[in-house]
Amino acid sequence: MSQHDVDEPVDSVDPGSNSSDVPMRPANRSGALLGLSIGLITKIVLLGTLNATSIWALGRLIPEGVWLGVVFVVVATVAIDVIYLSRARWSIAVKYLLPGTLLLLAFQLYPVMYTAYISSTNLGTGNILDKEAATEQVIATSIGSTESDVSFTSRAATNADGTLGLILTDDRTDPPTILLGTEDGTVEANDIVFDGDRVESADGFTALTLGDLADLESDFAELEVPTDEGIIRLATLNRANLVGYRLQFDPAVDAITDVETGVVYRPVDGFYQADDGTRLNPGWEVSVGFENYRRVFASEAIRGPFLRVFVWNWVFAVGTVVFSFAVGMLLAITLDHPDLRGKRIYRSLLIFPYALPSFLTVLVWQGMMNRRFGIINDLLGADIPWLTDPWMARASVLLVSTWLSFPYFFLVCTGALQSIPKELTEAANVDGANGRQAFRAVTFPLLLVAVAPLLISSFAFNFNNFNVIYFLNRGGPPIAGSQTPAGSTDILVSYTFRLAFESGRGQDLGFATAISILIFVHVALFSAWGFRKTARLEEI
Interatomic CA distance for residues 497 and 423, integer angstroms: 52
Interatomic CA distance for residues 522 and 485, integer angstroms: 22
Q: Which residues on neighbouring strands pair with residue 419, listed in sequence order?
A: none
DSSP element (H, E) containing 297: helix 291-298
Interatomic CA distance for residues 333 and 528, integer angstroms: 30
Q: Which residues on neighbouring strands pair with residue 155, listed in sequence order?
A: 167
- Is residue 195 helix, strand or coil? strand
The radius of gyration of the chain's CA atoms, rounded to the nearest angstrom, is 38
Nearest-10 crossing angle of helices 343-350, 300-335: 170
Q: Which residues on neighbouring strands pair with residue 89, listed in sequence order?
A: none
Interatomic CA distance for residues 429 and 418, integer angstroms: 18
* Cα within 13 Å of Cα(423), Cβ side: 1
Going by C-beta distance under 8 Å and a sequence separation of 6 or more, which residues neighbour residue 336? 414, 417, 418
pLDDT at 437: 83
Length of the chain: 540
Nearest-10 crossing angle of helices 509-534, 110-118: 130
pLDDT average per 10 residues of sequence, the chain (540 residues)? 45 47 52 65 88 93 87 92 87 89 88 91 90 90 69 86 87 83 86 80 85 81 83 83 86 90 92 93 92 86 86 95 94 85 85 85 93 91 92 95 93 88 80 79 85 90 92 88 80 87 77 90 87 68
pLDDT at 190: 82
AA identity, residue 397: V
3-state secondary structure string, 372-432?
A: CCCHHHHHHCCCCCCCCCHHHHHHHHHHHHHHHHHHHHHHHHHHHHHHCCHHHHHHHHHCC
pLDDT at 540: 52
Interatomic CA distance for residues 214 and 204, integer angstroms: 21
In angstroms, what CA-CA distances link 356 with 116, 361, 462?
Answer: 35, 7, 18
Q: Which residues on neighbouring strands pair with residue 225, listed in sequence order?
A: 232
Contact 481, 303 (CB under 8 A): no
In this structure, the number of other CB atoms found within 10 A of the CB of residue 140 comes to: 13
Interatomic CA distance for residues 400 and 316, integer angstroms: 11
Interatomic CA distance for residues 128 and 120, integer angstroms: 14
DSSP element (H, E) containing 306: helix 300-335
pLDDT at 33: 54
Interatomic CA distance for residues 193 and 244, integer angstroms: 30
In angstroms, what CA-CA distances link 217 with 116, 159, 161, 165?
Answer: 54, 16, 18, 12
Nearest C-alpha neighbor of 461 from the set 501, 499, 417, 491: 491
Nearest C-alpha neighbor of 467 from the set 497, 431, 507: 497
DSSP element (H, E) containing 516: helix 509-534
Interatomic CA distance for residues 469 and 150, integer angstroms: 61
DSSP result, 79-132: HHHHHHH---THHHHHHHHHHHHHHHIIIIIHHHHHHHHHTTB--STT--B-HH
pLDDT at 265: 95
Interatomic CA distance for residues 413 and 303, integer angstroms: 40
The superfamily in CATH containing domain 297-539 is MetI-like (1.10.3720.10)
Going by C-beta distance under 8 Å and a sequence separation of 6 or more, which residues neighbour residue 459? 317, 318, 321, 526, 527, 530
